[in-house]
Amino acid sequence: MSLNSEAKSKCDMVVDMILSMIVNRQYPIGSRLPAENEFCKQFGVSRITIRESFKRLEVMGVVSIQQGKGTFVKEIGLGTFMQPMFNLIDFGLFDISTIYDARQYIETGSCRLAAQNRNEEDIEKLSLMIDQMEEALKHKEFDRLSLVDSEFHIEIANISKNQILKAAVINLENISTACAIKNNKSHAVMVNAQTHHRALVKAIKDGDADEAQRIIIMHTIESKKCLI
């Protein structure tokens, strides 16, 4: 359901207030949030707004909605506090060029650190993701391809062992996906993407930070051209 601007404003307000309560341990990790009707009374909003707020909090990774049981608080990561970046997409402040310029600089750092901090298990995981992308591409499962591609870039950031870079990459992946959908480019496939991915994994495996940087820059530039 599409919300109008007023409903979005109310939803943003409710998300902020619930998030503040969770951060301040009013609702600790593992606890169950009050029922929708209780929050309706507390915040003076409709059940639709509360329901949408819960969904946003779930997307942010703050809560888990369990059918028939309720909504439960999860552990909060650094990415939670960077989530407001994602909301800016509604105001048209981002375009493909802006997003991918940011990605180039941020992912350069995550790839260089990944090349320094990787282990054998990390390389196996990245290689498996490439196989999954190739399988999805073969069967033209573009939604699956896009999902694993995002997971691939996030996993490299995870391997970097830098939580700030990881949080930034997660949010940029969300923003990139939203912007691609907004511009009807969600199924755009870059011809050389898999070649770049394999070369990037090799550079990370070899511990070659300079080569990893070169490849991710080339990959980001070509991805941007594909989406513009």
DSSP H helices in the chain: 5-23, 36-43, 47-59, 78-82, 84-87, 96-117, 120-138, 142-159, 163-182, 193-205, 209-227
What does the pLDDT read at residue 92? 54
Q: Residues 150-167: pLDDT tens digits?
A: 889 999 999 999 988 988
Say if residue 117 is in the same domain as residue 217. yes
CA atoms within 13 A on the CB side of 21: 17
Residues written for the chain = 228
Say if residue 58 is in the same domain as residue 161. no
Cβ–Cβ under 8 Å, residues 31 and 69: no
CA atoms within 13 A on the CB side of 130: 18
Q: Residues 111-148: pLDDT tens digits?
A: 999 999 999 999 999 999 999 999 999 999 888 898 89
Task: Mark residue 140 as left, alpha or beta (left: phi above 0; alpha: psi -120 to 50; beta: remaining).
Answer: left
Assign 2 a pLDDT band (cuts: 50, 70, 90).
very low
Q: Residues 172-221: pLDDT tens digits?
A: 887 787 777 777 776 777 778 999 999 999 999 999 999 999 999 999 99
Assign 6 a pLDDT band (cuts: 50, 70, 90).
very low
Q: Give exposure, 1-39, as e/b (b: 16+ Cβ within 10 Å).
A: eeeeeebeebbeebbeebbeebeeeebeeeeebbebeeb
Q: Which domain holds residue 42?
A: 5-76
Assign 1 a pLDDT band (cuts: 50, 70, 90).
very low
Choose between 13 and 120: higher pLDDT.
120
Say if residue 120 is in the same domain as residue 199. yes
Helix H or strand E encompassing 70 = strand 70-73
Owner of token pair 């594909």 = 226
Distance CA 119, CA 126 (A): 11
pTM: 0.66
* Boundary-marking domain end, from 13, 47, 76: 76
* Boundary-marking domain end, from 35, 61, 76: 76
Q: Residues 32-85: pLDDT tens digits?
A: 999 999 999 999 999 999 998 998 888 777 889 998 899 999 876 655 555 555
Q: Among candidates 10, 13, 15, which has minimal Cα distance to 55?
A: 15
Residue 63's DSSP bridge partners are: 73
Is the per-residue pLDDT at 95 higher than 70? yes
Say if residue 14 is in the same domain as residue 107. no
Say if residue 26 is in the same domain as residue 100. no
Please tell me the total count of domains within the chain: 2
- The top-scoring range by mean pLDDT among 1-5, 188-192, 223-227 is 223-227
DSSP, collapsed to helix, strand or coil, labels residue 91 as: helix
Amino acid type, 7: A
CATH code assigned at 29: 1.10.10.10
Distance CA 79, CA 67 (A): 25
Say if residue 127 is in the same domain as residue 88. yes
